[in-house]
Amino acid sequence: MTTTTPKPSFALITLILPGPDRKRQPSPYHFRVTYRNPEPTGPGCLMTWDVLVGREPYQVALERTADGRTEWHCTCADAVYHGENNHAHRCKHVQGLRELFPRAA
Ligand SMILES: [Zn+2]
């Protein structure tokens, strides 16, 4: 049996973000790419990530709308709350990824 070493790529990204505890201690968040559109110029889902932290992973998605804008989605409580209230606020998961992919933002 052979073991293969994963190619170094953006497949798994670790970001240090304010943690989930009250003190918001910086904590490592692991973002694993779960989908990448091979033709990222048209409308539709461009990329998705699983955010691995704590017990439940979050899903983050980057979508291109029909009129060419990009929209971020996250399943965490923070993003859902502000999304329902139409706030411009972005959760820390999306903010972290936006800094990595400034052209997509
Ligand atoms: Zn989030």
pLDDT of residue 9: 54
Q: Specify whether the CB–CB gap between 13 and 93 falls below 8 A.
A: no
Distance 94 CA to ligand 1 centre (A): 6
Instruction: Using alpha carbons, select from 11, 13, 8 the residue that is nearest to residue 100.
Output: 13
For the chain, what are the domain ranges? 33-100
Q: Who contacts 79 (Cβ-Cβ below 8 Å, separation ≥6)?
A: 73, 90, 91, 93, 94
- Ligand 1 centre from 74 Cα, in Å? 5
51 C-alpha vs ligand 1 centroid, how far in Å?
Answer: 8
Cα separation of 8 and 5, whole Å? 9
1 Cα–ligand 1 center, Å: 39
pLDDT number for residue 104: 59
Model pTM? 0.79
How confident is the model at residue 8, as a pLDDT? 47
Query: What pLDDT, on the 0 to 100 scale, is given for residue 1?
Result: 60
Q: Give 66 Cα–ligand 1 centroid separation in angstroms.
A: 24
Q: What does the pLDDT look like over 77-105, one tens digit per residue?
A: 989 888 888 777 889 999 999 988 776 55
How far apart are the CA of 39 and the centre of ligand 1, in A?
Answer: 25
CA of 61 to the centre of ligand 1 (A): 10
Share of residues in the chain with pLDDT > 70 (%)? 88
pLDDT tens digits, one per residue of 9-59: 558 889 999 887 889 899 889 999 999 998 878 899 999 999 987 777 899
